[in-house]
Amino acid sequence: MELEVNMSNSKTKKIFFISECLLNQNIRAYGVGNMKGSGSVADIVDLLKINDIGFSVVPCPEIPYEGLKRFACGKSHYNNEKYRAICSDLAGQFIERYKLYIDDNYKIGGFICVNGSPSCACDYCYDGEDGHTKCMEPGVFVEEIQKKLKKENLSLNFIGVRIKELDSVLEKIKNSISKL
Ligand code: SF4
């Protein structure tokens, strides 16, 4: 039996990459509270949903390194060869997916990631002995993604979520949506 392929479609082909824990806060490290509510961060999910935008989930890189039973740490804890290799591998998969989207004319609003995270921050993370010293640099995973983007001559809009800055984060997302 022949399958009918529907190429005309209701697909908007508009997507954002999004860090896994924004859709499932349960996976955040022990000692780190939920950002907002439980389950997913509804304000972000709802905003994308009402605009018919799809999610492309970026898997949590810390889980393959330490599992779910891990404790909150600063960037130094993750800044090592073994963890960078895991992040580099995931970053490679991320870039491959990104290129597939581009090749199929998707419109990509950016990567909604998590500021403050030693892995998934784009603007600032935390480090120091107490893990509470702010440092104005990306997390390890985002650094590995940025290296690969540069190598491939690709650019990507990073939007870092910090729940205290939720209003401005939502504005940034809206602004990116308006350009799709
Ligand atoms: S490593 Fe990234 S995806 Fe995993 S919990 Fe931290 S911020 Fe979320």
pLDDT band at 4 (very low <50, low <70, confident <90, very high): low
Nearest ligand 1 atom, CA 58:
3
- Once rounded to an integer, what is the mean pLDDT over residues 119-148? 94
- Once rounded to an integer, what is the mean pLDDT over residues 95-102? 98
Structure confidence by residue, pLDDT tens digits, 12-55? 999 999 999 999 999 999 999 999 999 999 999 999 999 999 99
58 lies in which domain range?
14-178
Any domain includes 115: yes
Nearest ligand 1 atom, CA 59:
3
How remote is the CA of residue 85 from the centroid of ligand 1, in Å? 16
Any domain includes 9: no
pLDDT band at 129 (very low <50, low <70, confident <90, very high): confident
How remote is the CA of residue 74 from the centroid of ligand 1, in Å? 13
Structurally, the chain folds into a number of domains equal to: 1
pTM for the structure as a whole: 0.94
What local confidence, expressed as pLDDT, does residue 10 receive?
A: 83
How remote is the CA of residue 20 from the centroid of ligand 1, in Å? 7
How remote is the CA of residue 116 from the centroid of ligand 1, in Å? 10
How would DSSP label each residue in the chain?
-PPPP--S-S---EEEEEEHHHH-GGGSPBT---SSSSSS-HHHHHHHHHTT-EEEEE--SHHHHH-SS-B---HHHH-SHHHHHHHHHHHHHHHHHHHHHHHTT-EEEEEEEETB-TTT-SS-EEESTTS-EEESS--HHHHHHHHHHHHTT----EEEE-GGGHHHHHHHHHHHHHT-
How remote is the CA of residue 5 from the centroid of ligand 1, in Å? 37
Any domain includes 6: no
What local confidence, expressed as pLDDT, does residue 134 receive?
A: 95
Any domain includes 46: yes
Ligand 1 pocket: which residues have CB below 6 Å? 19-21, 27-28, 60-62, 114, 117, 119-120
What local confidence, expressed as pLDDT, does residue 130 receive?
A: 75
Structure confidence by residue, pLDDT tens digits, 62-71? 999 999 999 9
Any domain includes 7: no
Nearest ligand 1 atom, CA 63:
4
Any domain includes 56: yes
What percentage of the chain carries pLDDT values higher than 90?
A: 91
Any domain includes 174: yes
Any domain includes 84: yes
